Amino acid sequence: MKGSTGEDDLVARLRRLLPATSNAVHAGIGDDCAAVAGGKRGILSLLKTDCVVEGRHFSARDAAPAVGWKAACRAVSDIAACGGAPRFALVTCVVRRGQSGRWLEGLYRGLSRAGRTYGFEIVGGELARTEGPAMISVAMTGEVPRRNFVPRGGGRPEDVLYITGVLGGSMRSGWHLRFTPRVHEAGWLAENFRPRAMMDVSDGLAADLPRLAAASDTGFVLDPSCLPRRRGASLQQALEDGEDFELLFAVASGRAARLEAAWGKKFPRLKLSRIGRLVPRGTAEGLGLANGFDHFTT
């Protein structure tokens, strides 16, 4: 379960209302996806649901196929962040008056293109009407070899923190409607470098990095001067805008140099930035932190 920024406490309260899960559940609430024992030996099934709401994640002016692409790729991004690949999707469209069958067809073209691109099949869903803003919710399953599953909370002190791509200005630049979920990169990382913790950055690094650290029971230090920013984005925007859908991950420090060399050969067109490291919980070294960002150490 993932709440909006500031709702983590509420999520924690709701979580306590649920019974303890069985040993079929490998990862549950608090990870990017739920991971449950699948049928195949050595394979975990990943389960994810993600919704986009008109006025917040897209606007009435956005092209319907782009909205469909985004709705599907958000869930794909979460499945990738666990090291997995998407498999099946169910799509719930709650549309408002004024959204025609033609709009819905455009939406489905975008969903369908995402399916062809990332290898999942849309096998069902639901249509409903609302008087409020439209909403598209995508429920997706995926698979990951158990040995490749990367949780959000496996980081340890001294692990090196990396981020892919650039951050900030996603809404303004339109990146949020045409982003590339990092499926191939995450699968390659999981297979070859065993990140200890990984998640996709969707609420902004300033919200998501503390979640990774808290789940790992560590603190962190972040070097703002290393943050990769989209052209025109300020440091604050890179930290807080959200909708980046890049991978944030922690790798054992002994693997860092080899990873950096291999990455450049494998993915020459996608930037990989070392942005800081995990530290023991409660220490606040403040390494390289500009004034005003003290609350980013925990």
List of residues contacting a copy of itself (CB under 8 A): 1-4, 7, 10-11, 13-14, 17-19, 21-22, 24-25, 28-29, 31, 33-34, 36, 38-41, 43, 45, 47-51, 53, 55-56, 87-88, 90-92, 94, 96, 101, 104-105, 108-109, 111-112, 115-116, 121-133, 135, 137, 139, 141
Report in angstroms how near the CB of residue 108 gets to a copy of itself at its nearest.
Answer: 4
Report in angstroms how near the CB of residue 173 gets to a copy of itself at its nearest.
Answer: 23
In sequence order, the 6+-apart residues with CB closer than 8 A to the CB of 273 are 162, 163, 164, 226, 227, 228
Which residue's CB is nearer to a copy of itself, number 104 or number 235? 104
Report in angstroms how near the CB of residue 273 gets to a copy of itself at its nearest.
Answer: 28
Report in angstroms how near the CB of residue 23 gets to a copy of itself at its nearest.
Answer: 11
Q: What is the Cα–Cα distance from 96 to 74, expressed in whole angstroms? A: 22
Which residue's CB is nearer to a copy of itself, number 35 or number 197? 35
Which residue's CB is nearer to a copy of itself, number 33 or number 233? 33
- Residue 93's φ and ψ, nearest 5 degrees, are -110, 115
Question: Quick one: DSSP state of residue 63?
Answer: -
Report in angstroms how near the CB of residue 251 gets to a copy of itself at its nearest.
Answer: 25
| Alpha-carbon distances, residue 190 vs 11, 56, 149, 185 (angstroms) | 28, 32, 7, 9
Which H or E run contains 110?
Answer: helix 101-118
Residues recorded for the chain: 298
Report in angstroms how near the CB of residue 26 gets to a copy of itself at its nearest.
Answer: 10
Which residue's CB is nearer to a copy of itself, number 3 or number 292? 3
Long-range contacts of the stretch 8-16 (C-beta < 8 A, 24+): 8/211
Among 101, 218, 240, smallest CA distance to 167 is for 240
Report in angstroms how near the CB of residue 9 gets to a copy of itself at its nearest.
Answer: 9
Angle, helix 183-193 to helix 64-81, in steps of 10 degrees: 10
Among 48, 166, 180, smallest CA distance to 113 is for 180
Which residue's CB is nearer to a copy of itself, number 45 or number 77? 45
Beta bridge partners of 95: 129
Which residue's CB is nearer to a copy of itself, number 11 or number 270? 11
CB 119 within 8 A of CB 140: no
Which residue's CB is nearer to a copy of itself, number 77 or number 273? 77
